[in-house]
Each structure stands twice: as structure tokens, then as C-alpha cells.
Amino acid sequence: MPVRRVDVNEGITKMATSPDQTESVGDELRPEYDFRSMRGVVRGKYAESYRERLRVVRLADDVADAFEDEAAVNDALRAYLRGQTFQPAGT
């Protein structure tokens, strides 16, 4: 069993803007940071290539309960794709 490293912050890291979050996040940049005057700064410059590589799949609660973590889900899907049978955790 791998040893789990204990970090100072044991909280869950959240995205700055979650799709589930409806309230707006306050702007913390100082007024002297004017990104419009900087050369080469383009809003959304890498957004399309990021979307091409990003694959987010939300599992139903009953399906998610069968797996311990993300690695277990990936292992199960790889086994399925190889035509092997997979036994979910806890069964």
C-alpha cells in the first residue's frame, strides 16, 4: 500500500470558477496590472486546445460509490475496453 503524504492543507482544492458555483468571484488584481497593454496576451489563446484534450465525465452517485478513486475508475474502463471482466470494489 502506498504511503500517503500528509500536507499542511488537508482541504479539498476547488476550481476558481466551478460550473456549480453561481456567485461571482471577486477580482483581486490591483489596478496597476494592465494586461491589455502587454504584447502577446490574448484572452482564450489556449482555450480551444485545452477543450480538445479535456474529458470530464460525471458519474451517477450509484456508479461512483462502486469506486474508491479516479484510478479505480480508469482501471475498470481499461479492463472493460480490453474485454476483461471487472469486479467493483466492495463486492
The DSSP result for the chain, as a single string, is: -PPPPPPS--SPP--SS-TT--SPPPP---TT--GGGSTT--TTTTHHHHHHH----PPPHHHHTT-SSHHHHHHHHHHHHTT-----TT-
Rounded to whole angstroms, the Cα distance separating 3 from 49 reads 35
Full-model pTM: 0.39
Residue count (the chain):
91
What average pLDDT does this structure show over 46-57?
A: 83
For residue 72, what are the CA distances in angstroms to 49, 55, 58, 76, 86? 27, 17, 15, 6, 10
Name the band, by pLDDT with cuts 50, 70 and 90, for residue 52.
Answer: confident
Name the band, by pLDDT with cuts 50, 70 and 90, for residue 15.
Answer: low
